[in-house]
Amino acid sequence: MKINNFSAGPSKIPQKVLDQLSVDIINYQNLGYSVLELSHRSKIFQDILNSTKNHLQKILNIPENFETIFLQGGATFQNTIIAANKPKLMTDLTFLLSGTWGAKTHKDFQDYFKKEINSIVLSNQKFDELIEQVNNLNSNYLYITSNETIEGIQIKNFKSFENKKLIIDMSSDICSYEFDWKNISYIFAGAQKNLGIPGVTICIFEKEFIENNELTSYMNLHNHIDKDSAFNTPPTFSIYVMLKVLEWVVEIGGLNEIENNNILRANKIYEFIDNNPSKLIPLAPKQYRSSSNIVFDFKDKHQTDLFLKKSYKDGFLGLNGHRSVGGIRVSNYNSITETMVNNLLTYIEDFILD
């Protein structure tokens, strides 16, 4: 049975990367041992680490005044480590809340600082209205979740927040489109959506962002900068997989090609949903629709359960919406192919016509 994996994460890995991993797990570069056995102190792994950083810097066009480090703990750990390394945020930060993950981060920041942190809730206001509202805020820093995987809401017009310094959770859409770094201070992302497997968190931030501190060793980001992401044992295999995915991104044409393909696939799915209003309901506001996670539901909720059970048996994986909202979610990450989307839309069409 042909598998079409649309999981929201950990996500599908490009086939070419899987083919390479299957070799390297057994015998890495003909050394006679596995890539899983590499010492994080070895020159071989240091080369992997450096190459991974270099690929990220070139693909994302990261400015020279930014640090790039790899940590563990997932995106959720960033809710603590950012606050700890930047106490100034306690009185100089506003959250733009567009969905579940941003709201959870907002709560974590408030719990850490033991203080209410300002927030703006995204509803149905037009983007121009939102920009005006945000740019009139007194705080210098703005926290956003660029893509809310649960609600299927995406904001990637970063430079529109022209007078704010942005802290961005890009866990589910990093390396899926080009963007301007002009007003960005800190970006973080787990790798398991577009850049590989769980275990490594990418952190990219202005060198002057981190304040001097006397935090415990792992919490102090200066230690991770000084030790080049190897202050303690890093997630070596996760970093290696990320390197292979980044090489794949370059090979297929780079970020511009990735972005164009992602938009084309997303538009095809949204067009299908909009063309079947008697059967399907889009769940995200049209002006904020995500290219990474397309969420919708059947008008007849009984059909939702039937579809999910049947589609899973027929090899369509990960289509269930998050347990908190239900419905259908199609995760359109970099590794998804046009053939997979065509297969899915044909399958849905057959289902609603049956």
> How confident is the prediction along the chain (354 residues), in pLDDT tens digits per residue?
789 999 999 999 999 999 999 999 999 999 999 999 999 999 999 999 999 999 999 999 999 999 999 999 999 999 999 999 999 999 999 999 999 999 999 999 999 999 999 999 998 889 999 999 998 899 999 999 999 999 999 999 999 998 999 999 999 999 999 999 999 999 999 999 999 999 999 999 999 999 999 999 999 999 999 999 999 999 999 999 999 999 999 999 999 999 999 999 999 999 999 999 999 999 999 999 999 999 999 999 999 999 999 999 999 999 999 988 999 999 999 999 999 999 999 999 999 987
Question: What are the tens digits of pLDDT across the range 148-193?
Answer: 999 999 999 999 998 999 999 999 999 999 999 999 999 999 999 9
pLDDT at residue 353 in the model: 86
Question: What are the tens digits of pLDDT across the range 32-45?
Answer: 999 999 999 999 99
Number of H helices, E strands in the chain: 10, 14
CATH of segment(s) 254-353: 3.90.1150.10
pLDDT at residue 1 in the model: 76
0.75 exceeded by pTM: yes
Please name the amino acid found at residue 270. Answer: Y
Burial per residue of 262-277, b for 16 or more beta-carbon CB atoms within 10 angstroms, e otherwise? beebbebbbebbeebe
The reply to whether CATH 3.40.640.10 applies to domain 15-251 is yes
Q: Which helix (H) or strand (E) holds 113?
A: helix 100-113
Of 134, 143, 139, 145, nearest to 109 by C-alpha is 143
CATH 3.40.640.10 residue ranges for the chain: 15-251
* Cα–Cα distance, 282 to 272 (Å, whole number): 10
Helix-strand-coil percent breakdown of the chain, rounded to 5? Answer: 45, 15, 40
CATH 3.90.1150.10 residue ranges for the chain: 254-353
The position carrying tokens 């041992």 is 33
